Amino acid sequence: MATVALGLAGAAAAAWLGAAGLVLAGGRRPAVSLQAGLIGLGGLAALGAGLVGVVAGSSESLALGNQLVGPVAYRVTALGATFLTLLGLVALTAAVWGARAHARSLASSAYLAALALTALFTLATLCAATVTAFLVAWESMTLAATFVVWRHHDRREAAWGGFLFVALGEAGFVCLTAALLLLATQAHSLDFQVIAARSATIGSGWRGAAFVLALIGFGFKAGLVPLHLSIPEADPAPPADGSAVLSAVTAQMGVYGIALVGFRLLSHGPAWWGLLTMSLGATSAVLGVLYALMERDWKRFLAYSTIENVGIAVTALGAAMTFLSLGQPGLGALLLIAGLYHVLNHGTAKALLFLTAGTVERATGLRDLDRLGGLARRMPRTAVIALIGTLALAALPPLNGFVGEWLIFQGLFQGFRLSSHLAAVLIVAAGAVLALAGGLAINAFARAYGIPFLGMARSGAAGRASERGQPVLAGAILAGVCCALALGAPLVLIGLAAVVRRTVGIVILPRLLVPGLTLIPAHPGFSSLSPTYLALALVGLLGVPLLILRLARPRAATRTVPVWAGGILRFRPRMQYTATTLANPVGVTFEDLYRPHRDLERASDDPAGRSGPVHYGFRLLPVYQRFLYQPLVAAVERAARGLGWIQSGDVNWYLLLVFLTILVAYVAAGR
Amino acid sequence: MPAGVATLAPTTPAGVVLDLAAVLILVSAFACLGSKLFARYVTYYGIQSLVLAVAVATVAVRTGDRGLWVLAGLTLVIKAIAIPSAIRRFLLDRLRLQRDGGLAAGLGVSLILGAVLTALAYLVIGRDLLPPGVGTVPAIPVATAVILLGGLVMVVRRHAVAQLIGWLIIENGVVLGAVTLAANFPFIVEAGIFLDVVASVLIMCGVVLGLGDDAAGGAALRRLSG
């Protein structure tokens, strides 16, 4: 079994490498479909590798290093396999979507090659077993993903998003390299297993420094506020399959990194590591959803929602670290399971929604929520799929998102079992913040589903939308997976419990899962849930009104009359609520945070009411930009202006600087 | 003590010739620094290269190294003859360059700075900078001084052609130091340096001709900021 996972991972890598290499075959009619097919096959293999890895645990190690580059080894670990499953699923569905969606052009072919390379290097990162292998794979992943962002490099927002992605990615990489090299030098080994085994012997100062650096480094990728700037700019920029990979996989690689360092390399850290991680996660969750709520661009909305959901997963991981550190291994393991569950749920549903948004964009050419509407009638299959994804991501029962978040809440509300009052209060407070985020998320997703799919079309393009020929299958697969993750929650938990047992060595499954498909997360007297029966019951309840209608309907004659509408003769699309109006109550409530800038222009101030066209503009300057990035950029610019005299432009001056440097070197060497 | 260095001690005839050559090379570098005419720069550089060829030949006689003979020949043909005549024909004649008006520092100041740099070269080249056993070779501080003087020429002259001459002087200083320090220097390295010099002269000829006299005289070279 153990070698099967590694073999499947190798097969996935080969397929993706082949898909990337096909761009070189190029020519006038590039093999775009073949590329997409290979990406999909690779995804299938990676999915298999992940599932085998989750069940069977660590595979054998594939060692490749030499004297020059040091030890390079790859191994499928249980923790990596969890993310590998997600990578495989998303790559598979992205390929299914992309095979229908992309034109046969060299640009599409190059884009698919970049996408295949992103998947390949993500796989390499997940399987890396030494510091060298990990850092090289991580950096390559960032670079390949940057080219995915640059698919439409002639568009301003894509260029800017790609720049932010690569710039912040490099900033994170610097922190990450420092952290891992610090660990490697202190443990005298580049091998992850050796570092993990010797981590207890490293001085606590070094451990703390390495952990904080790693948290920052991975935080850039995960999009933890305030390190998240690239997510809302870069993730929506490429076509939907690229967005799905970036948001559902690449961003969540940050979560993988935090789990890798926090639970494998540096297990048994002090409580403040967990509390710090948890606070960052909770802040990201609530700020992410708050900014998502104000977003009119559908894909940018989804990207902000990624920040929220990654924040939720990181909160769970941080709380798990705290519980483990303060002597509550059962709760720690529970929260780790819940966090990983949430990663899977979010990845599935986010990929689904990005692909759906991409399908709608293909059908209408629109991403602006305020110009869509009424799509449920014109694109019924897409609407059903999107509804499933929306329910899953808004964490509403009976879908998978609910199960994951419910477990997280159950874990967080056990904070009172801790002996440390500070940690207890902080953990419960994090739970409260997540509850706020959850409530806002329901609001946000009601808006993001209702505005485009319900009501009347708000523009001609939305009114002419058609589902014919659009790529719907990929979303349907993901919707099926969402349902499976909910109905099969006990199975998922068995798998994740195995992962947690192999990662932190805590056996929790017998306590967590009792016969009858029921979960008891913390304490039998506290709470229990059977997601399977809940889902069946809720779906079954839908039948009740139908039954009543059928059995108890009075046999009266049917009469068709217009709806009474307050004297309005005809409904017009502009009478509907818009995305902006729907979000406005929240905007007003959190005005101190948003500090919005509103522009209101009327053509005339005629008191009789007919004012002509009204322009209403609404802009936000996010709080972290106001207080963190703007001062930072201003400081760098001031420093650059202060040093400007060095760059006078005179070649003699430059030569003098070179000359003086040589002189200084001579004098320093001669002393 | 390296084999080649032992035979070049200042008491042997070869050592004396080498020291003399080194001093002449230094003097010609000073002459360049103290001159204002483009034709003189080229002449002094030619003389310097000729003396350098003699120095290399001297080392070749003492060590019997075939590679050094080739190097001496190349120095004579390329540096003493080909490069000066190329600069004369392609740059000085075509652009009608005579007086160098682009001085960043006066001649007096330049010469005083040159003297200070020469003194500095003697001060900093202590025994611990050199490989063991070669501390008595006087040509090393001289070679260092020639390198620094070439750098000074590049700093105080504004015209691109004068800067090219400064660069070539630096290179002569490097070769002087190399053959005296390590007589059994691999020939392939020397050949590589030679290629660099020839390439840089070709490139500079092209660039300067493309720029034209006005721009090469410094106007364009003062706007090199981003």
Give B-chain residues touching A670 at CB under 8 angstroms. Answer: 123-126, 129
Structure confidence at residue A66 (pLDDT) = 74
Interface touch A670/B224, C-beta < 8 Å = no
Give B-chain residues touching A655 at CB under 8 angstroms. Answer: 151, 154-155, 163
Neighbouring C-beta atoms of residue A195, cutoff 10 Å: 23
Structure confidence at residue A671 (pLDDT) = 66
- Structural domain includes residue A600: no
Rounded to a whole number of angstroms, the CA Rg of chain A reads: 27
Place B226 in a pLDDT band, splitting at 50, 70 and 90.
low
Same domain, yes or no: A474 and A358? yes
Q: Report pLDDT digits (tens) over A656-667.
A: 998 999 889 888
Same domain, yes or no: A533 and A633? no
Is the CB of A668 inside 8 Å of chain B's CB atoms?
no
- Structural domain ending residue among the three candidates A525, A547, A569: A547
Interface touch A663/B148, C-beta < 8 Å = yes
Same domain, yes or no: A23 and A119? yes
pLDDT at B43 over 80: yes
| Of the candidates B211, B115, B218, the residue with the CA atom closest to the CA atom of residue B163 | B218
Residue of chain A whose alpha carbon sits nearest to that of B123: A670
Of A647, A652, A666, the CB nearest to B225: A647
Same domain, yes or no: A56 and A144? yes
- Structural domain includes residue A584: no
Is the CB of A659 inside 8 Å of chain B's CB atoms?
yes
Structure confidence at residue B184 (pLDDT) = 58
Is the CB of A656 inside 8 Å of chain B's CB atoms?
yes
Residue B162 and residue B221 in contact, taking contact as beta carbons nearer than 8 Å:
no
For the segment B107-116, the average pLDDT, to the nearest whole number, is 92
Residue B184 and residue B4 in contact, taking contact as beta carbons nearer than 8 Å:
yes
Task: Tell me the residue type at A552.
Answer: A
Same domain, yes or no: A522 and A633? no
Interface touch B222/A667, C-beta < 8 Å = no
Structure confidence at residue A276 (pLDDT) = 96
pLDDT at B3 over 70: no
Residue reference for tokens 């948004």: A357
Residue of chain A whose alpha carbon sits nearest to that of B157: A652
Structure confidence at residue B183 (pLDDT) = 59
- Structural domain includes residue A587: no
Task: Burial-class residue B122 by CB neighbours within 10 Å (0-12, 13-18, 19+).
Answer: middle
ipTM over 0.90: no
- Structural domain includes residue A563: no
- Structural domain includes residue A608: no
Chain B nearest CA to A657, separation (Å) = 9
What is d(CA A18, CA A112) in angstroms, rounded to the nearest whole number? Answer: 11
A641, A643, A651, A661: which to substitute to probe chain B, counting the most B Cβ within 10 Å? A651
A653, A655, A657, A661: which to substitute to probe chain B, counting the most B Cβ within 10 Å? A655
Q: Which structural domain, as residue segments, surrounds residue A227? A: 1-266
Residue of chain A whose alpha carbon sits nearest to that of B125: A670
Total domain count, chain A: 3
Residue of chain A whose alpha carbon sits nearest to that of B163: A652
Residue-range domain boundaries for chain B: 3-220
Structure confidence at residue B135 (pLDDT) = 45
- Structural domain ending residue among the three candidates A210, A245, A266: A266
- Structural domain ending residue among the three candidates A266, A285, A318: A266
Structure confidence at residue A261 (pLDDT) = 95
Between CA A390 and CA A398, with CA A395 as vertex, the angle to 5 degrees is: 90
**How many CA atoms lie less than 13 Å away from A664 in the CB half-sphere?**
6
Same domain, yes or no: A371 and A238? no
Residue A228 β-bridge partners? none
Place B2 in a pLDDT band, splitting at 50, 70 and 90.
very low
Give B-chain residues touching A666 at CB under 8 angstroms. Answer: 120-121, 124, 144, 148
Residue A62 β-bridge partners? A74
Same domain, yes or no: A416 and A497? yes
pTM to 2 decimals? 0.79
Same domain, yes or no: A282 and A168? no
Percent of chain B topping pLDDT 90: 31
Q: Report pLDDT digits (tens) over A141-161.
A: 999 999 999 999 899 999 999
Indicate the pairing of strand A62-63 with strand A73-74: antiparallel
Q: Report pLDDT digits (tens) over B7-42.
A: 566 677 888 888 899 999 999 999 999 998 999 999
Low-confidence ranges of chain A (pLDDT < 50): none
